[in-house]
Chains A and B, each alone.
Chain A
Amino acid sequence: QVQLQESGPGLVKPSGTLSLTCAVSGGSISSSNWWSWVRQPPGKGLEWIGEIYHSGSTNYNPSLKSRVTISVDKSKNQFSLKLSSVTAADTAVYYCARGEWLVQSGDWYFDLWGRGTLVTVSS
């Protein structure tokens, strides 16, 4: 059974870079899936940050694109998020998720989520 586990610092200073890793266990990151980062500020809704395919192709939320880098490490079966120039507005629970995109049928969905990790931006 495939599982996702986020890891990384829970506290980041303003203007610094937030770095998180999502480890994929029980399956291969080279499967036909898109691997995403999604965040949720306290008391607010879900916001998609971006995604990566095992080939290295990426898509980013236009509102965050200038600050986001998502990378994949197939040798470690994991993918990572870097978000630069953070402010208090970036304080959120960060989730990694597995996406299934069936272009011909128009089906798109996240079928697997990590438990999430709270990242607080504060000095």
Chain B
Amino acid sequence: SSELTQDPAVSVALGQTVRITCQGDSLRSYYASWYQQKPGQAPVLVIYGKNNRPSGIPDRFSGSSSGNTASLTITGAQAEDEADYYCNSRDSSGDVVFGGGTKLTVL
């Protein structure tokens, strides 16, 4: 199966904007979905499709895609956004793939 590559760690100042990226060949065919995971908790879907937010997810979370790269943007990061973020998609074989995860620190 193909891979999705994420930066291991990213930091952002409180109230600023941060972009978390995910690269992989499968993203040319499928949109990435994005998950937030806090310590000791299950992942939570924050973005799916072209740029869709499930009910209850703040509108400071948004998604975009270009070529083989998908991005999750948090506009006006809050302390509670500090978490691990994972991207996910299907690959050309139809298998499910996850990125390695990005640890977001809010300073």
Q: Which residue on chain B has the smallest CB distance to residue A116? A: B42
Q: Are B98 and A108 in contact (CB under 8 A)?
A: no
Band of interface residues on B:
20 to 34
A46 pairs with B101, CB closer than 8 A? yes
Q: List residues 97-111 of chain A with CB under 8 A from any CB of chain B.
A: 99-102, 105-111
Closest residue of B by beta carbon distance from A60: B95
Known: A105-B49, A108-B33. A48 touches B42 (CB 8 A): no
Cβ-defined contact, B1 with A61, below 8 A = yes
Which B residues touch A63, using CB under 8 A? 1
CB pair A45–B101 under 8 Å, yes or no, is yes
Query: Which residues of chain B come closer than 8 Å to A45, judged between CB atoms?
Result: 86, 98-101
User: How many A residues are at the interface, by size bracket?
Assistant: 20 to 34
Residues B65-107 near A (CB distance < 8 A):
86, 88-90, 93-101
Asked if A113 contacts B98 (CB within 8 A), the reply is no
Chain B contacts for A51, CB-based, 8 A: 96
Q: Which residues of B contact A107 (CB under 8 A)?
A: 30-31, 33, 48-49, 52
Complex contacts, B90 vs chain A, CB 8 Å: 101, 108
Does A32 belong to the interface (CB within 8 Å)? no
Contacts of B100 in A (CB 8 A): 45
Cα–Cα distance between A45 and B6 once the two chains are bound (Å): 11
Contact of A110 among B31, B43, B93, B95 (CB under 8 A): B43
Interface centre among A36, A45, A102 (most CB of B within 10 A): A45
Interface string of B28-58 (1 = CB under 8 A from A): 0111010101000011110011001010000
Give the chain B neighbours of A105 by CB distance below 8 A: 49
3 smallest A-B Cβ distances: which pairs? Answer: A109-B33, A109-B48, A48-B96
| Partner-A contacts on B (CB < 8 A) | 1, 29-31, 33, 35, 37, 42-45, 48-49, 52, 54, 86, 88-90, 93-101
Extra contacts, 11 of them, besides A45-B99, A59-B94 (Cβ < 8 A), are A38-B98, A46-B37, A48-B96, A48-B98, A62-B95, A102-B49, A106-B49, A107-B31, A110-B88, A111-B45, A113-B42
